Amino acid sequence: MPELCQSNQQVSDGANLLISMLVRYPEIGTINFDPEVNSLKLTFMIAGIPTTKEFETAKHLLINSIAAYHLLEGVTDSRIDVELSSYEQVAILTVLRDVHTMSRGEIGLTVKLLREWFADRLVADRNDVMLEEDLLLQEEVIEDMLENMRKQDNDDHSLIGIREDGRVFVFNK
């Protein structure tokens, strides 16, 4: 992987955040960082197309669970949007979140809820090689990078992180 210019800490933190999230959570297919609205768009793929009722129920469960999590954590003014699109026999569930109120715990909650709701239909790039210590390290990096991005003025670097054949790539858009 090419080295990022260390003089540009914003790109480095953003890239590290996307890499760590994709490594830690194999259920996340892609992540987009939009600096104009300071948000992350997490994309999950579901084998088969859920019914409208199934999607709406999952959407409300996800939004209400995150709202409850935020209430317990004292988080206010968060933005969340959940959308569903489809392509042939695959549904694409997109969760749009603002970086300023997002946390490592919330990301874990989101993934856990989607795992439980869609069970074996949630597409994941399983990596059985990851040790528990590696997973914990990735969680710490996620929290640190989210904190760094909250403190910075993220105004000019759109990033996209994708997973392909067991590898993770991050690009400037």
Per-residue DSSP letters for 65-79?
HHHHHHHHHT--S--
* Per-residue pLDDT tens digits for 106-152: 999 999 999 999 988 999 887 666 667 777 888 889 999 998 888 77
Angle at 62 between CA 95 and CA 92, to 5 degrees: 40
* Structural domain spans, the chain: 9-172
pLDDT at 101: 92
Question: Model's pTM, two decimal places?
Answer: 0.86
* Per-residue pLDDT tens digits for 7-50: 445 457 888 999 999 989 999 999 999 988 889 999 999 999 99
